[in-house]
Amino acid sequence: MAFYYEPLSLILATLLLLLSNSFTTISLISLSQAINNGGVTLDLIHRDSPLSPSYDPSTTRFERLRTSFHRSISRQSSLKSTSFKSASKSPDSFEATLTPIGGEYLMKINIGTPPIEILAIVDTGSDLTWTQCVPCTQCYKQNAPLFNPTKTTTYRTVSCTSQQCQSLGPDSSSCDKSNSCLYQVSYGDSSYSNGDLAVETFTFDSSTSKESVVFPKIVFGCGHNNGGTFNETGSGIVGLGGGAVSIVRQLETTIGGKFSYCLTTLDSKSSSKISFGPNAIVTGPNLSSTPLVQKSPDTFYYLTLEGVSVGNEALAYNYIPNSNSKASVEEGNIIIDSGTTLTFLPSSLYEGLESTLEKSITGRRVSDPQGLFGLCYELPSNGEFNAPSIIAHFTGADVKLTQESTFIEVEKGVVCLTFVPSQDLAIFGNLHQMNFLIGYDLENQKVDFLPTDCSKTH
């Protein structure tokens, strides 16, 4: 039976391209050398920009937003499925750039020697990195060439007895007749990838210094049997989750278990940033930190949300209307996820949030034309919509959310609250992470929040 990894918003936006000859002019350096040169920074492509292979000039901004919102609903369902299935079972640094794609983010990596370039959705809720490979017994259609392991000098499959294979677990690995490790992963939307578990050289480019940082022997999946909802611009996954086979965990000793990102707003012309190692340490006068909670599955990053505030009115996580009693809060009751656009709250807390906001907002309430959001208003003719501030209270960290992320114009003249109710899995989505420098410290088991203008970061 395959291990259930969560989908990267169900639709991968991945591009596999042969690296151009210009790569030969870029010097290759180790990760330790990179820190002496200020790290490596990579410019990425916005999925909805004309440079993106998935760009559709016929779609409007509102249509792209709606698509990302609906992906959030599907993703939350899949993450819930992953969580419940799992619960039922007993000194270096570098930078790369992230770009918003309607609530999702892409990062380039190069695989092999000579390197092949992959542009993939990056997600803190996925572990195994894989790409479609030759020979392909069953592959979904992709526009770019498949990765060919016979064309690289650093590709090696791993044995069934290796630690790399064992780290997948018995549900997602098996052996072939030659004792090589095979992986099997499936997703909540019935998409899947099966193939050889292998090690390869991964390279991260710097667009500023013309230097590339090399990581040898990174475990990844070379997929020979893949299918599902992947579109033809896609070619795999890059996982930054907390599981053993994620790139973050594989580089944990080297990067000190630290990475951070700063997500720009959806309309920003600046790209976001992701950093690994010492450069990922978050510092500043308005810094707040909250503990990471260890739970199953270890792919997810669990936090403890104690409640939210609307203006001066506080609502506990276990909100009970007209009650002053405070029920105990379960640790690790919400996951922070860069691949989910919206924030999902327990139904009772959401209802309290909606009711409190409604009492505080002066405006004409309207219905969401597509029925997704519960609290919507007509945008005033001057284009200015005013709502009280919302603060998310994590253990030890009070995160004041920006109004441009809590209320978004989803249709012409209609703004809606970007929280939605959930009967089960709560998720702190990426809309509410924008314009925060967010640091993950796996060594000290914490997540840091620092409000900032991410368009001016780095």
- Catalytic one of 123, 189, 205, 448: 123
Handedness of CA 446, 447, 452, 455 (dihedral sign): positive
Extract the tokens encoding 102. Answer: 């309607």
From 224, 226, 235, 208, select the one nearest 53 (Cα to Cα).
Answer: 235
Task: Answer yes or no: 123 catalytic.
Answer: yes
> Could you give the CA distance from residue 428 to residue 410 in angstroms, rounded to a whole number?
20
Residue indicated by tokens 């291990």: 3
Extract the tokens encoding 367. Answer: 């219905």
The dihedrals phi and psi of 73, each to the nearest 5 degrees, come to: -65, -45
Contact call for residues 4 and 82 (beta carbons, < 8 A):
yes
DSSP secondary structure code for residue 380 in this structure: P
Residue 173's contacts (CB-CB under 8 Å, 6 or more residues apart) are 160, 165, 166, 181, 182, 183, 184, 197
Helix (H, G, I), strand (E, B) or coil at 370: coil
- Catalytic one of 92, 127, 196, 337: 337
> Could you give the CA distance from residue 198 to residue 219 in angstroms, rounded to a whole number?
6
Helix (H, G, I), strand (E, B) or coil at 146: coil
Judged on CB neighbours under 10 Å (0-12, 13-18, 19+), 176 is exposed
Q: What is the DSSP string of 325-349?
A: --PPPPTT-EEE-TT--SEEEEHHH
Strand partners, 220: 198
The dihedrals phi and psi of 33, each to the nearest 5 degrees, come to: -70, -35
Helices (H), ranges, 17-152:
31-36, 61-87
Residue indicated by tokens 């330790």: 32
The dihedrals phi and psi of 326, each to the nearest 5 degrees, come to: -115, 105
Active site residues: 123, 337
